[in-house]
Amino acid sequence: MHVDGRTQELLGLPIQEQERRIEQILMSRKIREASFRRKVCDAYDNRCAITGLRIVNGGGKSEAQAAHIWSVAEGGPDVVQNGVALSATVHWLFDRHLISLTDEYRILVSHNKVPSELRTLFAKQMDRIHLPADERLWPHPSYLTLHREKFSGIA
């Protein structure tokens, strides 16, 4: 176990020299286009499509995240139509297919898997999510279908 010197002092542990083991790992994975987040968040006016919240931190950075509808790992492209701006908690639910979207841009919720406390986050958006002003940037139905297939498998 590695404990840094300051933590050792706080815990009253004897200070001793410790070395962390270093491992070299070679990994292959698909790289996401760096501009994807910016383009998606811009299209959604830096607003979570599900909650409608637009939170900007003190540094002027939006808290909205760009979620892929069809994941990059499974071949999804880095295009705005394959993305949706979401807050961190909603992004987590979306990536795990606990929520999804209909072709009419309504929210589908796995009620047996999503706690009621979280469902209140998007209760007001059950009619239709917040979408980009430019309809050409709305989520493409084919990507929504792929996401829904995984949602249906666990719903």
Name which residue leads in pLDDT, 84 or 109.
84
Mean pLDDT of the chain: 84
pLDDT in tens, 9-40: 677 766 555 566 777 777 666 566 779 999 99
**pLDDT of 8 strictly over 90:** no
CA atoms within 13 A on the CB side of 82: 16
- Other CB atoms closer than 10 Å to residue 68's CB: what's the count? 23
Element (H, E) at 7: helix 5-11
Distance (Å, rounded) from C-alpha 153 to C-alpha 131? 26
Backbone angles phi, psi at 84, to 5 degrees: -150, 140
Domain ranges of the chain: 32-154
Percent of the chain with pLDDT over 90: 48
Lowest-pLDDT range, 31-45, 76-90, 112-126? 112-126
Cα distances from 149 to residues 6, 78, 89, 107, in angstroms, run: 50, 20, 21, 14
Note whether 37 and 78 are within 8 A (CB): no
Cα(70)–Cα(95) distance, rounded to whole angstroms?
9
> Cα–Cα distance between 140 and 103 in angstroms, integer?
9
Helix (H, G, I), strand (E, B) or coil at 27: coil
